[in-house]
Amino acid sequence: MAVQDIYQAVIEFKDAEVPILVQTELDAGTDIQSILNDGLIGAMDEVGKKFSEGVLFVPEMLMAAQAMKAGLAVIRPLLSDSDAKPAGTIVVGTVKGDLHDIGKNLVAMMLEGAGFNVIDLGVDVDADKFVKAAQENKAELAGLSALLTTTMPAMEQTVAAFKEQGLGIKVMIGGAPVTKAFADQIGASGYSEDAPSAVTLARRLMEG
C-alpha cells in the first residue's frame, strides 16, 4: 500500500522523498483524506509515541515534522474547504517575562504535525496579545509555555484573561516548573509533560 510508503518515509525522516511520494499518490488518484490521515498525520502520531518512549530523539522528531510538512504543502492547495478543516486552531506562546522558546517550538511543531492550525505568537507574550490573537484566528485552544518559576504568575493572569473574555477558549499549559496541580490551581483546562502528550491533550480538549 503506497500511503504506507508515505507513512514510512515520514517515520524515516525522508523530507525530500515525502513530497514526491505524496504527488505520486495524488496522480494515482488516492483519496486525499487517506494521504493526510493514514499517511502524514498517522506517521506523526507514531513519531510522537516513539519520542515519548525515548526511542526517538528531539532532532529526529523535528526532522519527521519537517518531512510531514513538506508532504502537507503538496496537498494543501488541493484541499476543498471541508477537507481543509484543521484538527483545531491553537494560539501558542511563551508567557510574559519569559524568553525561552525551545519547548514551545517543539509543542507547536508536533501540533502542526497532528493537523492543527498553529498560530505561534513567539516569546514574552502578554495576556492581551494572547486573547486578541485567539479571537482574530477563531482559536478553540491556547497553549501557554513557561520555563521560569518567576513567570508562572503570568500564566495565571493569562488564564484569567481568557476566562474574562468568555469565549470558552480552553487553555493548556506546560514547561519545566509547571505541574498538574498548578494547572488545576490557576484554572487551566489541562497540562502536559511533553510535546507528544500536548497533542493528545489538545485532541481531548477539542472533543469537549
Partner 1 sequence: MPDRMQTLTPGELSLLHDSTMDILSNTGVAFNENEALEIFRKKGHRVEGKKVFFREAHIREALATCPSRFRVKARDPEKSVFIGGDDFVLLPGYGAPFVTTPDGGRRQAAMADYDDFCKLVQTSPYLDMNGFMMVEPHDVPPRTAHLHMLLSSILLCDKPFMGSPVSREGAAQGVDMLRILFGDRATEEAYTVSLCNSLSPLQFSSEMAGSIMELARAGQACCVASLIMAGSSGPVTLAGVLALQNAEILAGICLAQAVRPGAPVIYGSTSSAMDMRTGGLSIGAPELSQNISATARMADFYRLPSRSGGGLTDSLTPDGQAGAESALALSTAVRSGINFVLHTAGTLGSYISMSFEKFMLDEELAGMIKKMVKPLEITPESIDLEMIRQVGIGGQYLTQPKTFKLCRTEFFNPRLMSRDNFDSWNSAGRPTARIRAEQEKERRLAEYEPPETGGALKRDLEKYVAKFKG
Residues contributing to the site for partner 1 (CB under 8 A)? 13, 57-60, 62-63, 66, 101-102, 105-106, 176, 179-180, 193-194
User: Min. distance of Cβ 19 from partner 1 in angstroms?
Assistant: 17
Residue 160 is placed in which grid cell?
Answer: 484569567
User: Min. distance of Cβ 156 from partner 1 in angstroms?
Assistant: 20
User: Min. distance of Cβ 194 from partner 1 in angstroms?
Assistant: 7
Nearer to partner 1, 88 or 196 (CB): 196
**DSSP state letters, 125-186:** B-HHHHHHHHHHTT-SEEEEE--SGGGHHHHHHHHHHHHHHTS--EEEEE-TT--HHHHHHH
Nearer to partner 1, 9 or 161 (CB): 9
Nearer to partner 1, 65 or 202 (CB): 65
Using CA atoms, how far apart are residues 66 and 18, in angstroms rounded to an integer? 10
User: Min. distance of Cβ 193 from partner 1 in angstroms?
Assistant: 4
Using CA atoms, how far apart are residues 204 and 15, in angstroms rounded to an integer? 29
Nearer to partner 1, 49 or 180 (CB): 180
User: Min. distance of Cβ 73 from partner 1 in angstroms?
Assistant: 16
User: Min. distance of Cβ 206 from partner 1 in angstroms?
Assistant: 22
Question: CA angle 148-151-152, nearest 5°?
Answer: 95
Beta bridge partners of 66: none
Nearer to partner 1, 16 or 28 (CB): 16
Nearer to partner 1, 66 or 165 (CB): 66
Q: How far is CA 144 from CA 28, 60, 175, in A?
A: 42, 24, 9
The answer to whether residues 98 and 146 touch, using CB atoms and an 8 Å cutoff, is yes
The answer to whether residues 137 and 99 touch, using CB atoms and an 8 Å cutoff, is no
